[in-house]
């Protein structure tokens, strides 16, 4: 298959925000499950065009934070403002429609489908030809399929996974599965991309590749990225700003340098002598 596409044309939708404007804002968000407080009174914001890292020890509430942002959990208190609009009780598919994509801590690919189909599934919201055109598979439905295939092939080129295009993802090694999952999220051409531990379980080379992809996505497509990651080297190198959680509370927020020197953060990670 000759890729006719030389450069990546995918980009986040123009939403009227300039780089540096507040894209997502959380104010005093609290979430609890029964008596367990997963998140208490957290406020922070994500600016358009930045790479925002969320770090913290295990059980700090990082994944819950992402789940709140894309609508899996509904916080009991607090206001979430996305692109200037406060929202309440948003469903995950509504979050998807408003331009939030995500990858999962444990790879959540569609195991029975090929790499190509998995990434095509990211185009679901962009396709709209109705049932009867689909049945006939001529004219508009077919053109739509081909048109989106072109976009998907751009992503496949971008992530350098041409050789596994037709392979069922269940058969792929873990590192490639993570990459396909990133591709699937990119296919949505999101404004805000949430990555839940994109580098967990990877070796050094794979981490370097993944970091390169994340930086490229950010700079070439203009996608705003929020990521959870445990590898401090990666976090300090690629993120613009870092928010630190511990036991559901925010204990630090700022540039990697600020956070690194924050005494609370050091205590949370290394423990304090009593």
Give the footprint of another protein on this chain (CB under 8 A): 1-2, 70, 72, 91-93, 95-97, 101-102, 104, 108-113, 117, 120-122, 124-125, 127, 129, 131, 134-137, 141-142, 144-146, 149-150, 153, 184, 188
Angstrom distance (rounded) from CA 70 to CA 98: 10
Angstrom distance (rounded) from CA 222 to CA 10: 9
Neighbouring residues of 35: CB distance < 8 A, sequence distance ≥ 6: none
Please name every residue paired with 81 in a beta bridge, in sequence order, or none if there are none: 25, 86
Of the two residues 104 and 247, which places its CB atom closer to another protein in the complex? 104
State the Cα angle at 43 between 38 and 49, rounded to 5°: 115
Give least dist CB 223 to another protein, A: 16
Of the two residues 122 and 252, which places its CB atom closer to another protein in the complex? 122
Of the two residues 120 and 242, which places its CB atom closer to another protein in the complex? 120
Which two tokens mark 81? Answer: 């403002």
Give least dist CB 199 to another protein, A: 19
Report CA dihedral (257, 204, 184, 16) to the nearest 10 degrees: 20
Report CA dihedral (260, 265, 268, 271) to the nearest 10 degrees: 60
Which two tokens mark 225? Answer: 């990225």
Of the two residues 86 and 127, which places its CB atom closer to another protein in the complex? 127
Contact by Cβ (8 Å): 239, 214: no
Of the two residues 86 and 97, which places its CB atom closer to another protein in the complex? 97
Angstrom distance (rounded) from CA 108 to CA 69: 18
Give least dist CB 252 to another protein, A: 29
Give least dist CB 42 to another protein, A: 22
Of the two residues 33 and 131, which places its CB atom closer to another protein in the complex? 131
Angstrom distance (rounded) from CA 50 to CA 243: 13
N residues, the chain: 274
State CA 244 to chain mean position distance: 18
Of the two residues 186 and 265, which places its CB atom closer to another protein in the complex? 186
Which two tokens mark 274? Answer: 């009593």
């Amino acid at each position: 298959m000759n890729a006719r596409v030389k450069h990546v044309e995918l980009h986040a939708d123009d939403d009227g925000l300039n780089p540096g404007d507040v894209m997502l804002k959380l104010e005093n968000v609290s979430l609890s499950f029964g008596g367990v407080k997963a998140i208490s009174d957290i406020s922070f914001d994500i600016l358009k065009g930045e790479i925002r890292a969320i770090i913290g020890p295990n059980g700090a509430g990082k994944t819950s934070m992402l789940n709140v942002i894309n609508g899996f959990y509904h916080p009991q208190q607090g206001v979430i403002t996305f692109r200037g609009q406060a929202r309440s009780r948003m469903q995950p598919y509504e979050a998807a429609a408003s331009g939030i994509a995500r990858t999962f801590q444990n790879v959540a690919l569609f195991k029975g489908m090929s790499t190509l189909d998995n990434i095509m599934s990211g185009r679901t919201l962009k396709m709209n030809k109705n049932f009867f055109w689909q049945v006939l598979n001529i004219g508009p439905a077919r053109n739509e399929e081909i048109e989106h295939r072109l976009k998907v092939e751009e992503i496949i080129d971008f992530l350098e996974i041409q050789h596994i295009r037709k392979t069922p993802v269940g058969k792929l090694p873990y590192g490639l599965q993570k990459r396909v999952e990133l591709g699937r999220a990119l296919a949505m051409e999101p404004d805000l991309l949430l990555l839940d531990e994109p580098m967990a379980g990877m070796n050094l080379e794979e981490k370097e590749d993944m970091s390169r992809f994340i930086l490229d996505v950010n700079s070439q497509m203009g996608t705003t990225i929020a990521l959870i990651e445990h590898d401090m080297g990666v976090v300090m190198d690629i993120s613009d700003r870092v928010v630190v959680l511990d036991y559901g509370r925010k204990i630090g927020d700022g540039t990697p340098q600020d956070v690194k020197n924050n005494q609370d953060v050091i205590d949370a990670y290394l423990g304090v002598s009593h």
